[in-house]
Chain A
Amino acid sequence: MNDVTKTTGPANAGPDEAGPQGRDHALPISVRSLTKTYGAFHALNDVSIDIRNGEFMTLLGPSGSGKTTLLMVLAGFVRPDNGSVKFGEREILLLPPHKRDIGMVFQNYALFPHMTVADNLAYPLKLRRVGKAEIRERVERALDLVQLGGLGDRGIEALSGGQRQRVALARAVIFEPRILLMDEPLSALDKNLREQMQFEVRALHDRLGITTVYVTHDQREALTMSDRIAVINEGRIQQVDPPRKLYERPETFFVASFIGETYRLPVEVADGKASLFGQPVRTDSPLGSNAARQTLILRPEMLHIDEGAPEADENQMTGTLRQSVFQGDSIVSYITIHGDHEIAVRSQHRSDRSLPEPGSEVRLSWLVQDTVILPGDGRT
């Protein structure tokens, strides 16, 4: 992971910063037992989650998982069947959206097309009866904050996608909300711009120290930006953890397969010890279950083809090389494990090493600390 994700918690916004002054920058969010059904469909199924003060929390899941519904409940646009949502100490579920005082960035930006950029930014301030001079000043500052200085008089139609994104961002924070909601805000941008904006959004969050709830279906985006990620599927929260832990220690098959590439191999467990096709498999923490049939989760980049005996901190298994493909910078080896499990291993090309012959036996090693075993056979 990159260093941005390590920068957790609210950054210190000095008195000269654009951030809010003289008040709490952020509020924690506490969601309890939230339920929302549409007919027989459970959009939210007993969802509880705590989002910390100043945290960048991403709701990650496939479409229809309930992540957007959860965000809309927070914003007040969806009325749940039951549950509780608190911002700080205050129950807000019964408040109408316009009294919740939270910033929001919409997927399509939702900028008012009949207003200029500056008017869009000034709108929430006018609603809060801020004086004219102060509005002008704060609009200027907000434009500078998102690097759009001097574009205040532009019409919305005259802006590029990235510029609109920045205006939407500036509008969502200009009235100094203590919570910011973002609904797939970068999905309409092309790849390069999207990556650049990921950094900018995160930087803005760090600067303002605002509690941010960010919805996306893009795992890479989630991993890049978040303090913590809540993976949601079928209306339920699967796991809430920092990106790295989520990746390395998935707690459910869904989380394992939704984030990154995985292989699954059946393991048998007896007396707390796991074995893979007869070979023992070690883990660095006790197994979560005593079920006899469990599943080993492997990621291709964790495996390496080994010629010698396993190191002390490694597990190992053997397989038959079916084919190796030379791809310039790397070599992809297709290996069959125990007859019917196929695994592809990518290894770096080294000129001093020759490709093993197809049909020969190879050994695959991986670190004990990377070993994840989940109960069940993974078929849901």
Chain B
Amino acid sequence: MSIRKTLLTATALAAAMGTGTGAAWAQDSITIASWGGAYQEAQRKAWFDVVEEELGITVNEDTTSGVADVRVQVASGAPTWDLTQQGNAGCALLDSEGNVEPLDESILSIPGIPDEFKGEGWISNLVYGHVIARNDEVFPDEKPENWVDFWDTEKFPGPRSLRKSPMYNMEVALLADGVPMDELYPIDTERAFNKLREIRDDVAVWWSSGAQSAQVLQDGEVDMAGLWNGRAQALTEEGAPISITFNEQIVLADCWIIPKGAKNKDLAMKAIEVMSRPEVQARIALFINYGPANADAFDTGVIPEDVAKGLPSHPDNVAKGFYLNEAYWVENLDRLTQEFDFFIQE
């Protein structure tokens, strides 16, 4: 009796979800893990809903806290995630470790996504930038517009904030020292650290989370900072006197990987394909201050022009900056983090 009743309920539920016959519904779902919070909510509205409708499947959600999760899942032999969001560096690292499924050629050949945004087993979906933000009340007229200005403590006095990591800081130090954007890699670390040393005493806060970078700007603890554009723009929208420049921005992206051995690998591939299309990609900009990874998304007309101009992946903005070299950091992050930790404690 009770078994039959349970079956009935399950069938009814499946029917209500519009996923076709009750017998097949368990097959037709995938689990996606992303960063959670407002970020994942935007992804749900922009992408996951579309995937569910288009493929007639259910997208279950989970959250990840980084590459370690993926390693553990793959090592267990039966990953519970079919698709996972990671930073590009994480994707490249997992790919090099053999922890991801290679992507279909059809996905990697999707037009509009630049080569910097994909590897054999990963593809970017969402773009953000590391930019200069400054307090307009402190600098009402002339503002720091590039990293040379950021380093100029005579012309622009006041405390600054930078990320507590060698990543980004090595690059911007070299820019401040006059190295052109296309000659940064491989990084001359000694030169970078020497340049960083010049500004170290003016860096009041080495931020370690996005929230912290926004908070020190908002509280006036620092007058300028290098931080993720979304965080700074959120402050601007709240009415804080903060502005950003995409000049010399570092173009960064998050990406999809399919953990090695994922149960619904094929469905996951299909989901990536759907979410990488320009018109689907474009939707993300409607829900959060991050841009689509597919440049063709800007030609779909989905994104209003004024919104598009504020996105780091807008072709104009990309042209002002440069792509982070993920491969370099996969190689050097560990070593340089130790050096950097020593440097800030000196």
Q: Are A and B in direct contact (Cβ within 8 Å)?
A: no
The chain A residues found within 8 Å of chain B, CB to CB, are none
The chain B residues found within 8 Å of chain A, CB to CB, are none
